[in-house]
Amino acid sequence: MPQLDDRIAVVTGAAQGIGRAIAEMLARRGAHVVVADINLEKAQATAQAIAASTGRRVIAVQTNVADSASAQATIDRTLAEFGRIDVLVNNAGTTRDTLLMRMSEADWDMVINLNLKGTFFCTKAAIRPMLRTKSGRIINISSVSGLAGNAGQANYAASKAGLVGFTKSVARELASRAITCNAVAPGFVPTALTNGLPDDLKAKAIEAIPLGRVGTAAEIAAAVVYLASDEAAYVTGHVLTVDGGMTMM
């Protein structure tokens, strides 16, 4: 497994679920981590647990990625604590699932603002210090829903598809400064966002997965660690699907 000795990583939405798994694996591979989450109490508990188990410096920062000032403040706090930022993982996200004919404007705006606009705010704040050091890794957590679509998730799929275009554009803009930007597109991974799905939908989802099982948060985290590492220095503008073959072409 690639090593990230003393890299400084910011992970949004890191208090629980996939974000927590990413933060923990980054720390286990040697990174110091900022656990950025809107729920400060959970973020603090997560940061303390990861620090205790890995021996890395891990701090919690309350972050509302959908607010530009909050996103900027998180990067400023990172620079104040660690002096630089090497890795940004844009993981924070939400769902408001319903059929399009029933979807309210508020449901649409909530998902787009958090999932897509939030990534814009955090990335814009992080690239200035990365440009100064002429190095950095930006990793956006997309979804197979953004690649193939999903009934009842027009807002979520649109936000995650938007991340793909955003990732490729940022990769082109920053490549000359040795800053890479990639995306990871998880398949069906049990999290707080999927726990509420009816059992019949979960069963259908598993039937559509060639490997015949759901994924794990650790498997998503492993992909992120690779993209954050020196081993991925020649990989940029790529979308790495971690989905058990669900969306293979």
Task: Give per-residue pLDDT as tens, 221-238.
Answer: 999 999 999 999 999 999
Residue ranges of the chain whose pLDDT lies below 50: none
Question: pLDDT value at position 1?
Answer: 65
CB–CB of 65/118 below 8 Å? yes
pLDDT at 197: 64
Q: What is the pLDDT of residue 202?
A: 74
Q: What is the mean pLDDT of the chain?
A: 95
pLDDT of 2 reads 80
Catalytic residues: 156
Tally of residues, the chain: 249
CA distance 171 to 175: 6
| Angstrom distance (rounded) from CA 121 to CA 113 | 10
Q: What is the pLDDT of residue 191?
A: 76
The pLDDT value recorded for residue 198 is 67
The pTM (predicted TM-score) of the whole model is 0.95
